[in-house]
Amino acid sequence: MTASPTERETLALHGGTSVRDKLLPYGRQSLDDGDIQAVVDVLESDWLTTGPKVDEFEERFAAWIGVPHAVSFSSGTAALHGAAFAAELGPGDQAITTPMTFCATANCILYQGATPIFADVSPDTLNLDPGEVSRKLYECTSSGVAPRVKAIIAVDYAGHPAALQELGELANAHGALLIEDASHSLGAEYQKKRVGNIADMTIFSFHPVKHLTTGEGGMVTTNNACLAETLRRFRNHGISSDARQRQESGQWLYEMVLLGFNYRLTDIACALGLSQLEKLNANLARRREIAAQYATAFRDWPAVMIPVVRAGVNPAWHLYPIRLQLEKLTAGRGEIFRALRAENIGVNVHYIPVHRHPYYRERIQTSESYPVAEDAYERLLSLPMFHSMTAEDVGDVIDALRKVLLHYEITKDAKGEPSHQLETRQTKQFHV
Ligand SMILES: Cc1ncc(COP(=O)(O)O)c(C=O)c1O
Beta carbons of 407 and 10 less than 8 angstroms apart: no
Determine whether the shortest distance from the Cβ of 181 to ligand 1 is under 6 A: yes
Q: pTM of whole model > 0.85?
A: yes
Question: Which position has the higher pLDDT, 340 or 139?
Answer: 340
Q: How far is CA 279 from CA 34, 35, 51, 104, 275, in A?
A: 11, 10, 23, 27, 7
Determine whether the shortest distance from the Cβ of 105 to ligand 1 is under 6 A: yes
When pLDDT is averaged across residues 293-318 and rounded to a whole number, the result is 97
Cβ atoms < 10 Å from Cβ of 342:
18
Determine whether the shortest distance from the Cβ of 77 to ligand 1 is under 6 A: yes
Question: Which position has the higher pLDDT, 257 or 430?
Answer: 257
Beta carbons of 409 and 303 less than 8 angstroms apart: yes
pLDDT tens readout for residues 134-144 = 999 998 777 66
- Cα separation of 51 and 40, whole Å? 15
- Residue 155 bridge partners (DSSP): 181
Q: Is the pLDDT of residue 419 over 70?
A: no
Determine whether the shortest distance from the Cβ of 272 to ligand 1 is under 6 A: no
Which of 53, 210, 279, 403 does the annotation list as catalytic? Answer: 210
pLDDT tens readout for residues 192-233 = 999 999 999 999 999 999 999 999 999 999 999 999 999 999
- Cα separation of 8 and 214, whole Å? 44
Q: Which of 28, 102, 349, 386 to mutate to test the pocket of ligand 1 (most atoms within 8 A of CB)?
A: 102
The DSSP code for 328 is: G
pLDDT of residue 422: 34
State the chain's mean pLDDT as an integer. 92
CA 285 to chain centre: 18
Q: Is the pLDDT of residue 17 over 70?
A: yes
pLDDT category at 314 given cuts 50, 70, 90 is very high
**Closest C-alpha residue for ligand 1 atom 8:** 76
Q: Is the pLDDT of residue 1 over 60?
A: no
**Closest C-alpha residue for ligand 1 atom 16:** 102
**Closest C-alpha residue for ligand 1 atom 10:** 76
pLDDT of residue 418: 61
Q: Is the pLDDT of residue 429 over 60?
A: no
94-108, 172-186, 251-265, 294-308: segment of lowest average pLDDT? 251-265
pLDDT of residue 412: 67
When pLDDT is averaged across residues 71-92 and rounded to a whole number, the result is 98
pLDDT of residue 18: 97
Largest Cα–Cα separation, the chain: 88
217 Cα nearest atom in ligand 1: 10
Alpha helix segments (H runs only) across 206-266: 225-234, 243-249
- Cα separation of 291 and 293, whole Å? 5
Question: Which position has the higher pLDDT, 251 or 210?
Answer: 210
Distance 408 CA to ligand 1 centre (A): 34
Distance 203 CA to ligand 1 centre (A): 9
When pLDDT is averaged across residues 220-248 and rounded to a whole number, the result is 90
Percent of the chain surpassing pLDDT 70: 91
Q: Is the pLDDT of residue 416 over 80?
A: no
Q: At what angle do helices 76-86 and 225-234 cross, to 10 degrees?
A: 120
When pLDDT is averaged across residues 34-50 and rounded to a whole number, the result is 95
318 Cα nearest atom in ligand 1: 16
Determine whether the shortest distance from the Cβ of 180 to ligand 1 is under 6 A: no
Q: Is the pLDDT of residue 346 over 60?
A: yes
209 Cα nearest atom in ligand 1: 14
Beta carbons of 203 and 231 less than 8 angstroms apart: no
When pLDDT is averaged across residues 68-95 and rounded to a whole number, the result is 98
104 Cα nearest atom in ligand 1: 4
Beta carbons of 111 and 89 less than 8 angstroms apart: no
- Cα separation of 409 and 116, whole Å? 40
Determine whether the shortest distance from the Cβ of 183 to ligand 1 is under 6 A: yes
pLDDT category at 355 given cuts 50, 70, 90 is very high
Distance 425 CA to ligand 1 centre (A): 32
When pLDDT is averaged across residues 259-283 and rounded to a whole number, the result is 98
The DSSP code for 256 is: B
pLDDT of residue 424: 33
80 Cα nearest atom in ligand 1: 4
Distance 287 CA to ligand 1 centre (A): 19
* Whether residue 428 lies in the annotated active site: no
pLDDT of residue 254: 87
Distance 45 CA to ligand 1 centre (A): 30
Q: Which of 26, 77, 263 to mutate to test the pocket of ligand 1 (most atoms within 8 A of CB)?
A: 77
Strands 189-190 and 313-314, how do they pair? antiparallel
Q: How far is CA 295 from CA 28, 243, 288, 300, in A?
A: 21, 50, 10, 9
When pLDDT is averaged across residues 266-279 and rounded to a whole number, the result is 98
When pLDDT is averaged across residues 185-192 and rounded to a whole number, the result is 98
Q: Is the pLDDT of residue 4 over 50?
A: no
pLDDT of residue 413: 64
Beta carbons of 203 and 102 less than 8 angstroms apart: no
Sign (positive/negative) of CA torsion 426, 429, 431, 432?
Answer: negative
When pLDDT is averaged across residues 48-63 and rounded to a whole number, the result is 96
